[in-house]
Amino acid sequence: MTSLKGKFKYIFFDADDTLWENEQFFRDAEAKFIELLADYTTPEGVQHMLWMKQEENIPLFSYGSKTYLIGMADAAMDLCGGNLPEKIYYGIKDIIKELAFHELHIIDGVVETLEALKDHYTMIVATKGDTLEQMSKFRSSGLEKYFHHCEVMENKDEKNYLELAAKHDIAPEEILMIGNSVKSDIAPVVKLGGWAIHTPHDVVWVHEMMDMPESDRIIEVRNIREIIPMLI
């Protein structure tokens, strides 16, 4: 077992699908949207159009349920021939309302892990997305007491991680990031010389998919509680 004891002052944790469930709720919303547009094209056609509109809108509006709302409206407008029926419009609003205000489900092993680490490290949530939405989830999660604070980053690329390191007066190689997304939590950190622990999740957003890079500074675990003996 790799030992990381004494190597880091801070531990940065991803939020969505690392601390609490997230992507499954978006998948459920997608399924409802496909059903809502069933009279207009095939399920595959609805899904493809939604994914395409999401990719177009993320650079403009960032991440989160509001951007998903815009993507659904854009996709529905195209699929409905430029005229959005009232039923479809209000159907989309209902889907997004349910998505934005769902009850948070903390992932197995998270509380046990944070409880074990709280007296040994300064722990910080490093997430991305809509600031109001992410901070609302953080504050309602019941996990706020374990963390120094929550950073809502513009994105999670090398530039953003360099800014994160500078803000906390550490070198990039002193970053330890724990998360489920290879693209956002693992690859950019190790490219900068930092360390990353991958806590895989069964459901992965297509936007976040990429191959795992090769590095001896990447540790993969099956459950987040496996990091406890590595760190204390």
Q: Give the CATH number, domain containing residue 184.
A: 3.40.50.1000
Residues 92 and 28 placed together within one structural domain of the fold: yes
- With a cut of 80, say whether residue 43 has pLDDT above it: yes
What is the predicted pLDDT for the residue at 196? 98
- With a cut of 70, say whether residue 20 has pLDDT above it: yes
Q: Which of 42, 77, 100 is the last residue of a domain?
A: 100
- Asked if the structure places residue 5 within a domain, the reply is no
Show the DSSP H helices in 9-85 as ranges: 23-36, 43-61, 65-79
Q: How far apart are CA 111 and CA 44, in angstroms?
A: 38
Residues 132 and 172 placed together within one structural domain of the fold: yes
Region of 194 on the Ramachandran plot (φ > 0 left; ψ -120 to 50 alpha; else beta): beta
Residues 121 and 227 placed together within one structural domain of the fold: yes
Residues 86 and 28 placed together within one structural domain of the fold: yes
Q: What is the pLDDT of residues 144-160, one digit of tens each?
A: 999 999 999 989 999 99
User: With bands split at pLDDT 50, 70 and 90, how would you rate the model's confidence at 211?
Assistant: confident
Q: Which of 85, 100, 115 is the last residue of a domain?
A: 100
Residues 90 and 180 placed together within one structural domain of the fold: no
- Asked if the structure places residue 180 within a domain, the reply is yes
55 three-state secondary structure: helix
Percentage of the residues of the chain whose pLDDT score is greater than 70: 97
Looking at residues 179-184, what average pLDDT do you find? 95
Residues 94 and 156 placed together within one structural domain of the fold: no
- With a cut of 60, say whether residue 207 has pLDDT above it: no
- Residue 106 sits at φ, ψ, to 5 deg, of -75, 135
Looking at residues 135-142, what average pLDDT do you find? 95
Q: How far apart are CA 83 and CA 79, in angstroms?
A: 9
Q: How far apart are CA 88 and CA 74, in angstroms?
A: 12
User: With bands split at pLDDT 50, 70 and 90, how would you rate the model's confidence at 1?
Assistant: low
Residues 166 and 214 placed together within one structural domain of the fold: yes
What is the predicted pLDDT for the residue at 61? 83
- With a cut of 90, say whether residue 2 has pLDDT above it: no
Residues 196 and 182 placed together within one structural domain of the fold: yes
User: With bands split at pLDDT 50, 70 and 90, how would you rate the model's confidence at 73?
Assistant: very high
Mean per-residue pLDDT over the chain, rounded: 93
Q: Which of 69, 100, 131 is the last residue of a domain?
A: 100
Residues 73 and 148 placed together within one structural domain of the fold: no
User: CATH code at 55?
Assistant: 1.10.150.240
User: With bands split at pLDDT 50, 70 and 90, how would you rate the model's confidence at 205?
Assistant: low
Q: In this predicted model, which residue has the larger pLDDT, 207 or 116?
A: 116
- Yes or no: say if 69 and 96 are a contact pair by the CB < 8 Å rule: yes
Residues 111 and 175 placed together within one structural domain of the fold: yes
Residues 119 and 57 placed together within one structural domain of the fold: no
Domain count, the chain: 2
Domain span including residue 131: 10-21+104-231
- With a cut of 80, say whether residue 14 has pLDDT above it: yes
Residues 119 and 14 placed together within one structural domain of the fold: yes
